[in-house]
Structure 1
Amino acid sequence: MTLAPEHRAIYLTGPTASGKSAVGVHLARLLDAEILALDSMTLYRGMDVGTAKPTREEQGGVPHHLIDVLDPWESASVAQYRGWALEMIQAVESRGRRVLFVGGTALYLKAMLRGLFDGPGAVPEVRGRLEAEAESLGDAVMHARLATLDPATAARLHPNDRRRIVRALEVIETTGSPFSTLQCEHDRAAPASVRVFALTPPRPWLYDRINRRVLGMFDAGLIDEVQRLQAGPRPMGSVAAQGVGYKEVIAHLAGGADLRQTIDLIQTRTRQFAKRQGTWFRGLSEVSPISIEPVESAEVVAQRLAAEIVGD
């Protein structure tokens, strides 16, 4: 069976601060690969310190792609990212090199492995009627209707999310099937041969690295970076401004928490984010957890992964 381009790629993921970037550079060298960033925040130009974006020196001469492609006031959907990634896969493979995704954005990983499901095409007359009903009856009534017809979808949608509620009701009316059922039918795992590795370090070590990384970001000028971004030609967009670290510093500069409290809050929220990432990765059957020990260098971990990949 011929694999789709995205399934020929190799994926290296794991929680924030687990050492993915350094391992990825060594692994790319061993595999003669180029790296595609699997990260929703390193897409942004000028957001370097707060995203721990690998510097030119840290990239070690390995080509990195899908970094610095958006201005901070812009945003991109998962579908747009997937489109860019598919184009880049073709470009890298045309040069006779392998593709190595490195990053920790779980939605991007899932989209690359399993594709995206948008449902059937819109039916304007049905959607228009449902939107008119929502306007006259109210969002709560429409959400209650959805809860009766598709409890799973209703449970994950806010009662005021009119656009998605109307879309879910439209799908039910035009297909006769709940949106959640169609999603489950589409959400099939990637072929078993796809290589997806998640670095899994001991939690105390990871949390200590997170705490020290956050301190290092402030030493490296995170506050100055946020001030530069806010003084840019346009305000930061909602997506960029909500990034962990940026959100808290913006609040601090606006007269919120003091510096010590801000640092503590970023450390806490980053640890919480790392814990959620682990949960997301465990929920993907394609992912192979790779236990790493604090004494192992990035080069040694990469050698272990390369031996497993080449040995297949």
Structure 2
Amino acid sequence: MSLAAEHRAVYLAGPTASGKSAVGVHLARRLDAEIVALDSMTLYRGMDVGTAKPTLAERGGVPHHLIDVLDPWESASVAQFRELALDAIRDVESRGRRALFVGGTALYLKAMLRGLFDGPGADPEVRSRLEAEAKASGDAALHGRLAALDPATAARLHPNDRRRIVRALEVIELTGIPFSELQRQHGRPAPAATRVFALELPRPVLYDRINGRVLAMVEAGLLDEVRRLQSAPKPMGAVAAQGVGYRETIAHLAGETDLRRTIELIQTRTRQFAKRQGTWFRGLAEVTPFAVDTGEQPEAVAERLAAAIAADVEPPNRRD
């Protein structure tokens, strides 16, 4: 049986600062592939420094899809991303090439591998009321309510992840069914032939990279980028404004923190985010962990990945 389009693609995931973008470019050349960004933040135009979006030079002539497709005041649901991604796969395959997804948004990865559960559409009235409650009572209060109604979902969501907490409460209110129960409808892993890898570096090395990347972002103009975004014709949407690095910079520009403390907060929250990404990837049966040696160059990593894909054998550490 032939695989569905999303399962014919190759997926390269990993936590932030693990080197996915550079490895992906080298791997795409070896696979005669085009890259589809698997990232919820590089979708946005003008959000370049804070998302570590690969520059045209860094893309090395390899076509990239689903970068710069939204304005910062817009937002896209997981379902919308999946539709855009499937269109991109068909576009790539029409040229006889392969789609290579590269990125670290675990929810997008899961949606591509397993599809989406049939949850209710957004209800503007319910969502607006929950957002207002979050602003008035704080994110922790809403997280506490979710913990009482749906402990499983609350346990996997950070107390400050307002957007997903609000969505989970919205689903419960509209359906009377816990969000986690609905999600079980798409818990079946993708076919074993689907190639999914997650780069893994020693944690101290990854954290050093994160700390250095944050400093480089500030030096590269993160504050100016956020100033430009805030002075745009429309304000940043809730999704864009809550991105790691952007939320802290917005607070700094509002006079809430000094620059040194802002940098420390971005570094800390980015490390925490990377840890959560690793947990997500380890929890997906389709994912093959792919260890990267300290100091190993992206081209060498891509060479080993290409060899593993060419071998086309069931990964020995695949979890069923």
Which bracket does the TM-score occupy, shorter chain normalised?
A: 0.7 to 0.9
State the partner residue of 1:279.
279
CA change 1:240–1:291 in 2 (3 A) is same
1:235 is paired with a residue of what secondary structure?
coil
- 1:164 aligns with one of 159, 164, 171: 171
CA distance in 1, matches of 2:166, 2:305: 45
CA change 1:255–1:292 in 2 (3 A) is same
Q: How many residues align?
A: 283
CA contact (8 A) 2:72 2:237 kept: yes
Cα drift, residue 52 of structure 1:
0.1
Which ranges in structure 1 are unaligned for 5 or more consecutive residues? 123-139, 173-177
- 1:16-165 equivalences under 5 Å are 16-119=16-119, 147=149, 163-165=170-172
State the partner residue of 1:136.
none
State the partner residue of 2:196.
196
CA RMSD across the alignment: 2.5
CA contact (8 A) 2:37 2:102 kept: yes
CA distance in 1, matches of 2:295, 2:282: 24
2:58 is paired with a residue of what secondary structure?
helix
CA change 1:154–1:258 in 2 (3 A) is closer
Q: Deviations over 1:221-263 (max 9, x none)?
A: 0000000010111111111000011100100000011000000
CA change 1:26–1:256 in 2 (3 A) is same
1:290 is paired with a residue of what secondary structure?
strand
CA change 1:161–1:270 in 2 (3 A) is closer
CA distance in 2, matches of 1:224, 1:290: 36
CA contact (8 A) 2:171 2:179 kept: no
CA contact (8 A) 2:168 2:179 kept: no
CA contact (8 A) 1:50 1:245 kept: yes
CA change 1:21–1:151 in 2 (3 A) is closer
Q: Deviations over 1:149-207 (max 9, x none)?
A: x87579889699763223232xx6xxxxx775553243200001100000000000000
Cα drift, residue 121 of structure 1:
9.4
Letter of the 2:171 counterpart: R
Letter of the 1:83 counterpart: E
CA contact (8 A) 2:25 2:62 kept: yes
2:57 is paired with a residue of what secondary structure?
helix
CA contact (8 A) 1:44 1:72 kept: yes
Cα drift, residue 44 of structure 1:
0.2
| Of 182-191 and 204-213, the range deviating more from structure 2 | 182-191
State the partner residue of 1:262.
262
Letter of the 1:80 counterpart: Q
1:165 is paired with a residue of what secondary structure?
helix
Q: Deviations over 1:280-306 (max 9, x none)?
A: 000000000001012210000000000
Letter of the 1:29 counterpart: R
CA contact (8 A) 1:168 1:179 kept: no
CA distance in 1, matches of 2:212, 2:104: 19
Looking at CA atoms only, which structure, 1 or 2, has the larger radius of gyration?
1
State the partner residue of 2:14.
14
Cα drift, residue 311 of structure 1:
1.6
Cα drift, residue 82 of structure 1:
0.1
User: Under a length normalisation based on structure 1, what TM-score does the superposition of the two structures give?
Assistant: 0.85
1:198 is paired with a residue of what secondary structure?
strand
State the partner residue of 2:248.
248
State the partner residue of 1:126.
none
CA contact (8 A) 1:154 1:165 kept: no
Letter of the 1:256 counterpart: E
CA distance in 2, matches of 1:42, 1:154: 27
CA change 1:216–1:203 in 2 (3 A) is same
1:90 is paired with a residue of what secondary structure?
helix
